[in-house]
Structure 1
Amino acid sequence: MSPAPSHPSTGQEARSGAGSPAMGWRGRVWQRICYHTLLKTVGTSLFMFLFFRAYFALLENPRGTPTVMPEIWLDHWVAFTPAAFPVYLSLWVYVSLAPGLMGNLRALIWFGVWVGAMCLLGLGIFWWWPTQTPTFAIDWAQHPGLSLIKGVDAAGNACPSLHVASAVFSGCWLHRILRQMRSPPVTLWLSAALCVGIAWSTMATRQHVALDVLSGAVLGLVFAAASLWHIRRTD
């Protein structure tokens, strides 16, 4: 009996860079990392550069006197935890994972468009309604790492937290990508845990209060849902 003919990958698999079913998930990860690597690296770096130029310009030149964001019960429930600082910094790696694992140029471009729109809206809110975090009774000199970031990223541009919005947006996209690559379920849980950890770290380091975090999470979810719906509609 002659062997059954092998089936070529579907157009969807070819466009998405999912790889053949016989390829292990590590192989699919490497395949996607190698897809338009230069574009991803330059595009992500340029995006971050432009975003921070606008972010710090608004931080240093608020439209008016910033509103101090009030604390709620959740702020007193989350303890000040200096050890959360590395988790806070991990956002810059986390937000690079989704574009880094994309194997579809159209999806990569639309990802950039949607995350750019989300950041523009956040910056517009910062300009229209300047906000800042409360003054906490903490001796920042006792915590050199946190003292450094407090000196660079002042208490302004608080609500909504774009740190949290970016983590939630990236987490939703990363969930879709990992499922598409048929990655082990543990990778989905690790991604979700890191997303939640980043949101927690913004409060644990006293960079944001709960209302900043909640509004940032809503902003990220709305733009993630809209962008993923748009990608499915145009797939």
Structure 2
Amino acid sequence: MTPPTDRAWPRRLLSRFTALWYLKAFGTMAFMVLFFQTYFWVQHHPLREPFMMPTLAIDDWVPFTPAGFAAYVSLWVYVSLPAALMPNLRTLIVQGLWTAALCSFCLLLFWVYPTQTPVQDIDWSQHPQLAFMKSVDAAGNACPSLHVASAVYAAFWLHRILAQIGAPALLRWLSVLQCAVIVWSTLAIRQHVFLDVVAGALVGAVFAWLSLRGVPQSARSQMP
């Protein structure tokens, strides 16, 4: 198979994006609806009282930045990209099952070992978007940060996909940058503390490694 050229990668990217687009769109929507239903059930039915996560000095180094909310919510677009770029039904199912496994693992931890972030001395009424998020996001889902785990997991998958289609290295670095911005936002809006972020990054990396073991790295190869 001829390696993809710089001129060919946009066509390859578009081909992946349009393949089974209707199934991807419906499947992603259905997955998110099911996820949030389970997420809020777990929040309201923990097996024990949430443990308060400790803070470290690094938590104070990251300034409170309400504008980080935009980066925080961008996760839902970012994590949808790997599934949107699967080339066929088999790879879509495999990637979807691993994504479900990641979410299920974190939700199980939230249920069995609920944790919460410390109460911040912030007037949330001055930040309506953050105040709304705080009002619907009950205690119990702090560690590991599923937001961070999902972002890191998606970043690994996107790196592999972009390498396969022969995309420029710049595009892969932009993906890494977006992941880093999402991770930063979890601290900047005080949704998580540093230990939550570290644990979430570790979970995301482990699930990415497990799920990508059988996925070829070379652009010469087809995905399984």
TM-score category of the 2 structures, normalised to the smaller one = over 0.9
Cα deviation, residue 217, structure 1: 0.3
Q: How many angstroms apart in 1 are the aligned matches of 2:198 and 2:99?
A: 18
Residue matched to 1:201: 185
Distance 1:228 1:100 in 2: 16
CA separation in 2, counterparts of 1:74 and 1:107?
Answer: 39
Matches within 5 A, 1:1-235: 10=1, 21=5, 24-232=8-216, 235=224
Contact 1:202 1:208 in 2 (8 A): yes
Question: 1:51, CA displacement in angstroms?
Answer: 0.9
Runs of 4 or more above 4 Å deviation: 20-23
Q: d(CA) in 1 for partners of 2:144 and 2:207?
A: 13
Moved more, 174-183 or 154-163: 154-163
CA offset at residue 179 of structure 1? Answer: 0.9
1:103-143 Cα shifts (integer Å, max 9, x gaps): 13222111111111111111111111011111000000011
In structure 2, runs of 5+ residues without a counterpart are 218-222
TM-score (norm 2): 0.92
Q: d(CA) in 1 for partners of 2:97 and 2:68?
A: 31
Which position in structure 1 is the counterpart of 2:220? none
- Contact 1:163/1:216 (CA < 8 Å) preserved in 2? yes
| Alignment length (residue pairs) | 219
Percent identity reads 51
1:27 Cα offset (Å): 1.7
8 A contact 2:6–2:166 mirrored in 1: no
Rg (Cα) greater in structure: 1
The two structures have a TM-score, normalised by structure 1, of 0.88
Contact 1:133-1:207 at 8 Å conserved across structures: yes
The AA in structure 2 aligned to 1:195 is C
Listed as ranges, the gaps of 5+ residues in structure 1 are 1-9
- Shift of residue 47, structure 1, vs aligned partner: 1.0
